[in-house]
Structure 1
Amino acid sequence: MDQLTLHDLQCYLALKYKKRGTSAALFMKLVEEIGEVAEVLNQLEGRKANTANASLEKELVDVIHYVVAIASINNIDLTKSIIEKDKQASVKYNQSPNLAEFLVALKK
């Protein structure tokens, strides 16, 4: 299988939703998908009868799809934003390594 980067996915979704996607419409789809994740988790943890062929994997992919699509049509570089947000959280919660440090160590 081919490697997929977050940047690749953002470029693809920006193209896909360029003319027909609005942040509000994509957000409403995201909320739907989060509800579907909740349904699957309830089924998997026995709080709800398993009424369908529930797939946590598929529902999580849908959530990621819409989050990345919203970022893409708003020209947000998620890779940069995730790394920066993690640096801030690492300082706030006194955690080490941060994501940037982890990535450097991973490449060694």
Structure 2
Amino acid sequence: MEQLTFQALQSYLALKYKEGRSSSGLFMKLVEEIGEVAEVLNQQEGRKSPSTDTSLEKELVDVIHYSVAIASINGIDLSKAIIEKDRQAAIKYNQSPNLEEFLLRN
């Protein structure tokens, strides 16, 4: 299997959602999936009885899917945005290395 990159996922989701889905519609799906993550975590931590056949892995993948889809249809380059946001946070919180430095080292 080939390595998945944000760029590849964004290109795929931009194609998949080029027609028929709005940012707000995808956001509603994202919120629904976040609720499902909360359900799984509550079940895992004993605050709720297991009642569904879902896994944390599947629900987190759904959260990532809809988050990346929203970025894709809005022309946001997530790789650039994540590196820039992390650079700002590293400066603000005096953290080292930042993500860009980490990637260059590895």
Per the shorter chain, which TM-score range?
over 0.9
Q: What is the DSSP-based 3-state SS (H/G/I as helix, E as strand, rest coil) of the residue aligned with 1:75?
A: coil
CA–CA distance in structure 2, aligned partners of residues 51 and 23 of structure 1: 31
Q: Any gaps of 5 or more consecutive residues in structure 1?
A: none
Q: What is the DSSP-based 3-state SS (H/G/I as helix, E as strand, rest coil) of the residue aligned with 2:76?
A: coil
- Deviation string for 1:4-23 (max 9, x for gaps)? 10000000000000011100
**TM-score normalised to the size of structure 1?**
0.96
How much has 1:100 moved relative to structure 2?
0.3
Structure 1 partner of 2:75: 75
How much has 1:53 moved relative to structure 2?
1.9
Q: Any gaps of 5 or more consecutive residues in structure 2?
A: none
Q: What is the DSSP-based 3-state SS (H/G/I as helix, E as strand, rest coil) of the residue aligned with 2:19?
A: coil
Supply the AA of the counterpart residue of 1:60. Answer: L
How much has 1:54 moved relative to structure 2?
2.5
Structure 1 partner of 2:31: 31
**TM-score normalised to the size of structure 2?**
0.98
CA–CA distance in structure 1, aligned partners of residues 47 and 54 of structure 2: 14
- Deviation string for 1:59-80 (max 9, x for gaps)? 0000000000000000000000
* CA RMSD after TM alignment: 0.6
Structure 2 partner of 1:3: 3
CA–CA distance in structure 2, aligned partners of residues 52 and 78 of structure 1: 32
CA–CA distance in structure 2, aligned partners of residues 54 and 81 of structure 1: 31
CA–CA distance in structure 2, aligned partners of residues 53 and 24 of structure 1: 28
Structure 2 partner of 1:88: 88
Q: Percent identity?
A: 73
